[in-house]
A = this chain, B = another copy of it.
Amino acid sequence: MTGLLPWLEWAGVAVFALTGALVAARKQMDPFGFVLLGTVTGIGGGTLRDVLLGIRPVPWILDPAVVIICAAVSLAAFVSAHHFEREGRTRVILWADALGLALFTVTGTAKALEAGAPAISAVLLGVVTATFGGIIRDMLAGDVPLALRRDVYVTASLAGAVAFALANRFVSPDLDDVIGFAVVFAIRGLAIRHGWSLPTYGKREG
């Protein structure tokens, strides 16, 4: 998957930046609020992964291309977000977030394996990469993180990261990215469409 990796990473950065900018629209921020929230969402998960792996400096310092992508996407959202009505925007946030979740699960797990992490830690770092950008976004915006709500979310990322690691080891490094991506996006997409959730603790309480 080596050749594809940077493209998948950039696509993940762009769609997560879009979700950050659309949350900024919902909170009626100014253009720099859009850029800040979009950028933090776009690069937050990968930055945390690289800090945990001990890659220094964090790669976007040496090559700020991803930051420029985030700023451009955020400003584009600022000038165009009003074309979506409110429900449309919520739907775009959900689906772009699902796409970013699938892309970052794959790239996060791949980069951790590349850096020499054992499989179980690589899976964890894939989930961290995929979920923490959105967690930081939601915390900055004062919302309960999507990742902690009831719907199947962390589950989808975890299943995809495991599928990626297994495919990388036992199937073929040429297919691992497709398999990992498909698992996350299918599970998360079905969960959005059908309102799936896992049984929660509270259900058994009353």
- Show the binding face of A for B, using Cβ within 8 Å: 24-25, 27-37, 47, 51-58, 60-62, 64, 67-68, 78, 81-82, 112, 115, 117-118, 120-121, 124-125, 131, 135, 139-142, 144-145, 147-150, 152-155, 158, 197-205
Contact = CB atoms under 8 A, between A and B. Distances in A.
A139 B140 CA distance: 7
Given A36-B154, A118-B64, A54 B52 contact: no
A51 to B, nearest CB: 6
Given A28-B200, A36-B147, A202-B28, A57 B53 contact: yes
B139 A62 contact: no
Contact of A53 (B61, B67, B141): B61
Given A52-B51, A201-B78, A30 B150 contact: yes
